[in-house]
Amino acid sequence: MLNVKNNVFWVGKVDWELRRFHGDEYSTHRGSSYNSFLIKEEKTVLIDTVWKPFAGEFVQNLKNEIDLQEIDYIVVNHGEVDHSGALPELMAQIPDTPIICTQNAVQSLQGQFHQDWNFQTVKTGEKLDLGNGKELIFLEMRLLHWPDSMACYLTGDEILFSNDAFGQHYASEKLYNDQVDQCELMAEAIKYYANILAPFSPLVEKKIKEILALELPVDIIAPSHGIIWRDNPLQIVEKYRGWAASYMENQVVLLYDTMWEGTRIMAENIARGIGASNPEIEVKLLNTARTDKNDVLTEAFRSRAILLGSPTVNRSILMSLAAIIDGMEALRFKGKKAASFGCYGWSGEAVGKLNEMANRAGLELIDDGLRCRWRPDQKEIEDCIKFGEKIGKSLK
């Protein structure tokens, strides 16, 4: 049990070994944590639990600190199992303890655990008196990122328990943002936003305005994954505002896959052309078959323009590109420009197909694309450089 502030304690689990999350959908190169908090005022409140594999350890650790019967309320900010997974083991020992959550969370918890626990539903603005002059104020966070999501704010200590929002999949033996490597922290925070929260960007902007309008002083933002923001906690809120508003850096990324090197040679020479014509812009090349898909999507999220390259195969494109473009469509990136390229030997449909998929993903095509038959010769290499120069100039 680690002290967060006054009578608030961290009782979660740091998962250093985690490398895949949401099944195999999200890579966690730096592990993660499942943050659970215990508030010990006149009333004792547990906020969220941990993922099921750690349920036994979690409940035993709690028992080492308090008599479980002392827990007056359990707040479930979100029903997804990385936070609710230890509930069955805990509730087996304190079955009548009220579980405070949104109405949607009742559906989620009953659907997953098939238990008729003592649910007490709350809506935005409702409060729970903890004694000692402190209250928990509940804030529905509908669709950030599930329909059941909620946050709660502890008056007096001025702590916002934000659940998934403002989190990072980042394991650390430290608790706070000022104690960790800032580059690693922000890399994990933007990856988390790009891959999990980006589809809900319009709601993020709206929700941040709603929270700021409440004029609640915020000393600490305590998400349910990763480190806790205590040094300038609103810095992550400001980052979210930026990320939610058609975010882009001065970067272009070439996402390509290749069979016999032709499309890779095209990518490298297009990149040369971009760099020569626009020295200010960052240019990155990522082979989508060989790069972690969440890292690819994060780099795409950071970019002003996304160039898509694939050879033609079976009148279509290579599968790794198809998966990434489908991912971008689902994540609903906004304001990105795009162009396509690719080699072919016979029928040559790839560029047309890439254009069609880019359109569907909401990318703005700035060129019809560049095709090259067989392996590029010197003239075609020059054509790639010129194509890159044209793209680079258009991004000035």
**Using the rule CB under 6 A, is 380 a contact of ligand FEO?**
no
Listed ranges 77-85, 92-100, 257-265, 315-323: which one lies at the site for ligand FEO (CB under 6 A): 77-85
140 binds ligand FEO (CB under 6 A): no
Binding mask 225-254 for ligand FEO (x = CB under 6 A): x-----------------------------
Which residues does residue 343 pair with via DSSP β-bridges, in sequence order? 372
Of the candidates 341, 253, 254, the residue with the CA atom closest to the CA atom of residue 303:
253
CB closer to ligand FEO, 28 vs 312 = 28
d(CA 286, CA 118): 50
Question: CA-to-CA distance for 185 and 28, rounded, in angstroms?
Answer: 13
The residues carrying an active-site annotation are 22, 78, 80, 82, 145, 164, 192, 225
Residue nearer to ligand FEO on the CB measure, 197 or 354 = 197
**Interface pattern 40-69 for ligand FEO (x via CB under 6 A):** ------------------------------
Partners of 252 in the β-ladder: 283, 305
By CB under 6 A, is residue 78 in contact with ligand FEO? yes
Query: 78 or 134: whose CB is closer to ligand FEO?
Result: 78
Does 84 participate in binding ligand FEO (rule CB under 6 A)?
Answer: no
Nearer to ligand FEO, 200 or 243 (CB): 200
- Check binding of 35 to ligand FEO (CB under 6 A): no
- Report if residue 389 touches ligand FEO, rule: CB under 6 A: no
Shortest distance in whole angstroms from residue 94 CB to ligand FEO: 23
Q: Minimum Å distance from CB 76 to ligand FEO?
A: 11
Segment near ligand FEO (CB under 6 A), from 62-70, 78-86, 106-114, 295-303? 78-86
* Integer Rg of the chain from CA: 24
Q: Does 82 bind ligand FEO (CB under 6 A)?
A: yes
Q: How far apart are CA 36 and CA 48, in angstroms?
A: 5
Closest separation in Å from C-beta 156 to ligand FEO? 27
CA dist list (Å): 186 to 164, 172, 225, 344: 15, 14, 14, 40
Work out which of 44, 77, 168, 224 binds ligand FEO, going by CB under 6 A: 224
C-alpha span between 338 and 9 (Å, rounded):
48
Which string of b and e fits 22-57 if b means at least 16 CB within 10 Å? Answer: eeeebbbebbbbbbbbbbbbebbbbbbbbbbebbee
* Residue closest to 354 by CA, chosen among 307, 291, 296: 307
Nearest to 324 by CA among 291, 349, 297: 297
Stretch that binds ligand FEO, among 76-84, 131-139, 282-290, 305-313 (CB under 6 A): 76-84
Determine how β-strand 305-309 pairs with β-strand 282-287.
unpaired
Binding mask 152-191 for ligand FEO (x = CB under 6 A): ------------x---------------------------
Amino acid at 29: H
Mapped onto helix, strand or coil, the DSSP state of residue 167 is coil
Q: Which amino acid is at 378?
A: Q
Residue type, 260: W
Site residues (CB under 6 A) for ligand FEO?
Answer: 78, 80, 82-83, 145-146, 164, 224-225
